[in-house]
Structure 1
Amino acid sequence: EISGSKQRQAPLGSPERQSLVDPRQVESFLDEIVMISQRSEEYNGFMLGKLRSVGGEVAGHAARENVFRGGQFNCTAREVTGYYITMEEYYVEEMVNKAIELDELTADQLVSSLVDDTFFIMQKCARRALATGSLQCCCALLTELNNILASGFRAAVAAKLANAGQRVMAAMPNDPLLDESGGGSQPHEAAVMVNNAETSGVYLHKLRQEIERAAMELFTGAAERERVKSCLADLSKTSSDFHTMAAKALEALAGAMFPRLCPALDEVAALTYQPSEAEYAAMEAEEAWTARLLLAMEARLAWLRPMLIPAAYDGLVAHLVDKVAARLEAIVSKKAFNQLGGLAMDRDVRTLVSHLAEL
């Protein structure tokens, strides 16, 4: 019944999807099969060691090993391994589906339960596959874990991430410094979706490292290690995909925030950088446009900062600074300067750089 469920089931997170068997019941069988597999691998190691200790030609050793590996015991062990792979794949799919369905977010969380629950399941299944001591199990399960993360889980994260930047900006007040409400739950939920994508990439990278360390200790043969590394390479690509997804969302958020900074930037377009000495003295005495621009940026970033994880916040700052710098470059490239104007621009740029580095 489980073996044919993949062909009949709806995608992960779909309301039409139904569990054929409670995955918690399947888990108890998985633990028992893992124990059987461990004992089988230990027995194989013992018997192969005995066969190699028998004198004779090398060709004779190979023939005896082939006969043993093709015997009834190993055929049955491989059959049990096949059952394990099918059941483990079913278990991880159904548990991730439940994590998607039961995704929750509390007011003090920066990441929803979907990410933590999913990667807890992934870690458990990866460790169990490694515990079998079977290269076939490990490679099959690593491939399955990556398929789930790259398809169903990624689709669930992307669906909730859609238009996150617009939702945040719709709730952002015109003057965040005067707003005490925090914007309600809508901007927090949208920001958490960005955090989910970034955190998924981080968690997947850590999971890959953990699996690689354990696998390199377990499998000592060069060919075995290459097979494992080939599977792990797919996990690395999926991790990069999540980081890319988060980066695009942060760039969209920075793009939505940028128009609110334009009034301060428009002041630069109206300024002259060919002042007389009297005009230059007046420019030094007045509050510079840089102060108003920095205040506008700091106010909006400070409003968003409690909602974002550090990596996402840093990414947002980088994207926003890039957009501001590009706009300033376009404005300044059209201006003419005299010596005093050059000094004024140098002062303004130094002020911007020193303050932006502290954001």
Structure 2
Amino acid sequence: MLAWTAPEPPDTAVASWLCALVMAITMVIAKAALTPAEDRQDDGSTAVMRRTARDDGSSGISRVEGGPPSPDGGTGDASHTGAVNAVEQTIEGGADPIGDRMDTGQDIRRAQKDDGVLQKIRGWLSRGEQPKSAEMGEWKQVLNSRWAEERLESEMEALLDQRCHLGAKMAGLQKMAPSLQFVHADADQLSKMISFTTTLAIDVSAKVRQLDRAKTRVAAAQQRVNDLLDLKSCAEGVQTALQAEDFEQAAAHVHRFLAIDESVVRLSEAGEAAAGRAGDSLSSAFALLHKAEVELHAAVGARFSEAVKAEDLASIERFFKIFPLLNRHDEGVKRFAEYLCSKLKASAAKNLRDAERTGPSEPRAAVIWSDTATLLFEGIARLVEIHQPIIETFYGPGWLMATIELLQASCDKQVSKIVASFNKHRSIDAKVARVRESLRAVRSGTAGSSAGTPALDPRELDPLLAELTILHARTELYVRFVRRRVMNDIEVGFFDNERAEKTAKLESIIKDSDLSRCMQELVGQYITLESYYVTECISKAVKLDTIEEGSLTSSMVDDVFFIIKKCIRRALSGGSVDGTCAMINIASTLLETEFCSVLERHLRQGFPSGYLDLSQAYSVLQTSLQQGKLHTTDTDAQKTQFLTALNNARASQEYVSSLCTTLRQEVAAQLTGSSSHERDKLESCVAGLQAVSSRFATLAEVGLKQLLSSAIKPRVKPWVDGFTAVSHDITELGGLQLDKEVRTLTAYLASVTTWSERDRMARLSQIATLLNMEEVSEISDYWGVSSTMTWKLSSAEARKVMLLRVDFKPEDVKRLKL
């Protein structure tokens, strides 16, 4: 802060700034003294004054906002004197800061306050004193408030400038006023018309409701009259029909009587009694018909039983059709199903006796129990096929499931007998016990050392496993038939909620049946036996492994995968998703553990070194065998075993991929009725089997690395070292010879290997192509967008190879744009 003394004159720069401030405040205050709006239209002095204020006070306003200028930026005494004169002229001139007109007392007090501020500034200028900071802030506040008023006035002027446009709009609205009167009249008329129409509609609706009630009452009266007439007709006709043993006609009369609402007819009887008319005729008719209903029911039941004893199918069906006319649907279905079950029981018992008497040498002896179960299922299907139309016609939709439920109960009993006889004659439980004992011995490592029961021969299980799968397949076929027939009946007779309830009941009937329980037990036994069968067969295939002359793999690869494919296909043919998944998982485990361990054991022995020629590594299998037997030294036998194991690993990898592809196709073709959950489960199991191929790939890679380190690198490394130690310059003739030798080597490798040699020899072939060119520019025929060759060499590698040609100029090679 600067310190000032009274005798010293004020700073000229601050004085100039204050003068400008005074001028601006003066001009702003002058605006408050303007005349009203109606007078400003004829007076141009206001606009002149406003323009003068803007022109003269612009610099002063900017200085007020930014503060007074620094002392060294002043303009000297001349500017101070001019500023003082300007302030005095402004204050003492013709413009009065307060003005002559004030609208309110507040405006007068504000103008007086602003005038006091100006008087203080004039006194300061005349005395040459330094203003206080508080006074400076007050002056700025006055100026800023006046700036706000100026902005508001500018906005008001803008609105006034739009007066002509708004006037034109108002003129247009005034022209439209007569039209609006017509619109108002039309709208009033339309409102009255709508009100009239509404009232008329309400009246008409009331009349329609009255007519509807009258119609309903008339229809009820007609129905009551018809019921009375039918009641008398039925009472008269039922006795005649019973006497003539015309049970169908009597049932028709009783059915019509049962369809009559007895409580409503009783009201008519009460009305006749109240009116003094006799109502005895109605009471006697009701009593007569109730008695006839009882007599008819007893007669039909007795005749149905007699027809069953006599096995008179025509009479059985005749009286079976009468039960629904008496509203005895449950009784009719139960009696008829009992008759069908009796026939089914007799037929199944006969077939079971025939199966037990079948000798082992007869043609169908190996599958006689599955044939017996098949006959049972076919008998049920035949009964459903024959009698389903009768049930649907006379009993209506929904009653087929009740019939099949009763038939299924009889089927469960017969299946339990067949399975029990099957277990007894095939010794299923004993064989499963022996198999489990053998599997436990294998897991514990004591196989062959136990003095107990000898191991079961897998060949004995083959026909038994086939019969088990056939038995389960026939069961699945029967279940699909029942589900399809009942679901068609449910779809016709029920809606969404009832349909879902009936469907759930059908699934409960199937899953909770003894048939399903027996099949689940058989599937468990099948999985145990099949697991033992495939394990023993794979073990035997490994023990009997041989190498045929001219073959690159041993016999156990084909044998193992044949056995696995056979077992999985057998499980798939049984129609059991759980059984198929179990067999796929068992196969995956055996391949990944048992079979891979055999190959890994052979590969761990390593490949002995000492080959004189690289070609011996590929010709051992052909030259070391004579009639399937090895007549070689131990070293040659070890080499042969290693190479065979390596080829077996690679072939096994391909076999696994092929097996998974085949399984996916067969699953989609055979298990068409499986759910999405079951399909996902099968796909997961197949994916697990597919993952085993990576295990074989790892073994093959390990074997190749051993072969490379023990046989190829020791022999090739001295050649490579000797070759790289000398600088080689190649001529055109040398390039031609190199290309010829590369082609010969590629053809040789193609004849002794199974892998694609062109991909592995691609870089070497491209090097020979570059060195075989006649000119440097010839590379444009092979390299570029128009070339059909996929280059394995980079552009730098291609230049490096071409520089080996002594007849190619280095500068020509470097100028190539590759």
TM-score, length-scaled by structure 1: 0.74
Secondary structure at 2:519 match in 1 = helix
Matches within 5 A, 1:50-69: 50-52=485-487, 53-54=489-490, 55-56=493-494, 57=498, 58-69=500-511
Give the structure 2 partner of residue 72 of structure 1: 514
Aligned to 1:264: 719
Deviation at 1:343, TM superposition (A): 4.0
Work out the CA distance in 2 between the residues paired with 1:50 and 1:183. Answer: 67
Counterpart secondary structure, 1:9: helix
C-alpha distance after superposition, 1:318-358 (max 9, x if no partner): 49x99xx9xxxxxxxxxxxxxx98744479xxxxxxxxxxx
C-alpha distance in 2, partners of 1:246/1:346? 40
1:29 matched to 2:471? The reply is no
- Cα–Cα, structure 1 residues 237 and 176, in superposed 2: closer, same or farther, change >3 Å? closer
List per-residue Cα deviations over 1:271-314 (Å, max 9, x = no partner): 358xxxxxx6xx539969x96xx79x959x959964x5x03x85
Amino acid at match of 1:28: P
The answer to whether the aligner puts 1:3 opposite 2:436 as a matched pair is yes
| CA shift for structure 1 position 175 | 7.4
Are 1:83 and 2:516 matched, yes or no? Answer: no
Q: Is the 8 A contact 2:465 2:526 kept in 1?
A: yes
Determine the C-alpha separation between the residues in 2 that align with 1:286 and 1:16. 73
Determine the structure 2 residue equivalent to 1:133: 575
The residue type equivalent to 1:249 in the other structure is G
Q: Distance in 2 between matches of 1:124 and 1:108?
A: 27
Please say if residues 81 and 137 of structure 1, whose CA atoms lie closer than 8 Å, have aligned partners that are also in contact. yes
* 1:232 is aligned to 2:667: no
CA–CA distance in structure 2, aligned partners of residues 11 and 203 of structure 1: 31
Native 8 Å contact 2:732 2:805 kept in 1: no
**Structure 1 counterpart of 2:87:** none
| In 2: Cα distance, 1:109 partner to 1:342 partner | 40
Kindly state the Cα deviation for residue 97 of structure 1 after the two structures are TM-superposed.
Answer: 0.7
Question: Does the 8 Å CA contact 1:51/1:65 hold for their aligned counterparts?
Answer: no
| CA distance 1:245–1:16, shift in 2 (3 Å) | farther
Structure with max Cα Rg: 2
**Deviation at residue 215 of structure 1 after TM alignment:** 0.7
State the AA in 2 paired with 1:51: V
- Among 533, 538, 543, which residue is 1:101 paired with? 543
After TM superposition, the structure 1 = structure 2 runs for residues 1-359 of structure 1, keeping only pairs within 5 Å, are 1-9=434-442, 20-52=455-487, 53-54=489-490, 55-56=493-494, 57=498, 58-164=500-606, 166-167=607-608, 169-170=609-610, 172-174=611-613, 184=624, 186=636, 187-220=639-672, 221-255=675-709, 256-272=711-727, 284=731, 298=745, 306=752, 308=753, 310-311=754-755, 314=757, 318=760, 343-345=802-804
Equivalent-residue separation in structure 1 for 2:801 and 2:485 (angstroms): 85
Q: Deviations over 1:59-90 (max 9, x none)?
A: 12212311321111111111111111111111
SS in 2 for 1:173: coil
Shift of 1:269: 3.8
Structure 2 contact 548–555 (Cα < 8 Å) conserved? no
Distance 1:259 1:286 in 2: 31
Question: Residue type matched to 2:712 in 1?
Answer: M
CA contact (8 A) 1:11 1:152 kept: no
Partner of 1:133: helix, strand, or coil? coil
User: How far 1:191 sits from its partner (Å)?
Assistant: 1.7
1:236-270 deviation per Cα after TM superposition (whole angstroms, max 9, x unaligned) = 11012112211221232123302322233223543
2:813 counterpart residue number: none
Relative to structure 1, the CA distance from residue 194 to residue 135 in structure 2 (aligned partners, 3 Å threshold; closer, same or farther) is same
Verify the 8 A CA contact 2:614 2:712 in the aligned structure 1.
no
CA distance in 2, matches of 1:139, 1:40: 19
**Which letter does structure 2 place at the counterpart of 1:36?**
L
Kindly tell me: are residues 59 and 196 of structure 1, through their superposed partners in 2, closer, same or farther at Cα, counting changes over 3 Å?
same
Amino acid at match of 2:486: L
Which deviations, in whole Å up to 9, do the C-alpha atoms of 1:181-222 show, x marking residues without a partner?
A: 977452444322111010011111111111111112223432
Q: Is the 8 A contact 1:194 1:249 kept in 2?
A: yes
SS in 1 for 2:435: coil
**Contact 2:531–2:583 (8 Å) recurs in 1:** yes
Distance 1:267 1:163 in 2: 31
Cα distance change on mapping 1:269 and 1:40 into 2, 3 Å: same
Match of 1:335 in 2: none
Structure 2: stretches of 5+ with no match in the other structure: 1-433, 626-635, 768-798, 807-818
Q: Secondary structure at the match of 1:106?
A: coil
Deviations 1:147-182 (A, max 9, x none): 100100111121122244x23x43x224759xx997
Distance 1:36 1:65 in 2: 21
Taking a change above 3 Å as real, the CA distance of residues 189 and 106 of structure 1, as seen in their structure-2 partners, is farther
Query: 2: distance between equivalents of 1:29 and 1:258?
Result: 55
Deviations 1:11-60 (A, max 9, x none): 99x88799710000011100111110011001111122233224341112
Per the alignment, in what secondary structure is the counterpart of residue 3 of structure 1? helix
Indicate how the Cα distance of structure 1 residues 225 and 249 shifts in structure 2: closer, same or farther if over 3 A, else same.
same
- The whole-number CA distance in structure 2 between the counterparts of 1:4 and 1:66 is 36
Instruction: Indicate how the Cα distance of structure 1 residues 266 and 90 shifts in structure 2: closer, same or farther if over 3 A, else same.
Output: same
Separation in 1 of the partners of 2:706 and 2:525? 46
Q: SS state of the match for residue 731, structure 2?
A: helix
Distance 1:20 1:304, change over 3 A: farther
Question: Aligned equivalents of 1:117 and 1:230: distance in 2?
Answer: 26
The AA in structure 1 aligned to 2:658 is K
Q: Structure 2 length as normaliser, TM-score?
A: 0.34
Q: Please give the secondary structure, in 1, of the residue aligned with 2:456.
A: coil
CA distance in structure 1 between the partners assigned to 2:558 and 2:472 by the alignment: 29
Contact 2:561 2:655 in 1 (8 A): yes
Distance 1:151 1:110 in 2: 23
Asked whether the 8 Å contact 1:139–1:227 carries over to 2, the reply is yes
Contact 1:10 1:16 (8 Å CA) reproduced:
no
Q: Distance in 1 between matches of 2:510 and 2:454?
A: 40
* 2:194 counterpart residue number: none
- Residue 91 of structure 1 deviates from its aligned partner by 0.5
Contact 1:102–1:114 (8 Å) recurs in 2: yes
- How many residue pairs were aligned? 310
Contact 2:602 2:641 in 1 (8 A): no
AA aligned opposite 1:284: T
Q: How far 1:2 moved relative to its partner?
A: 1.2
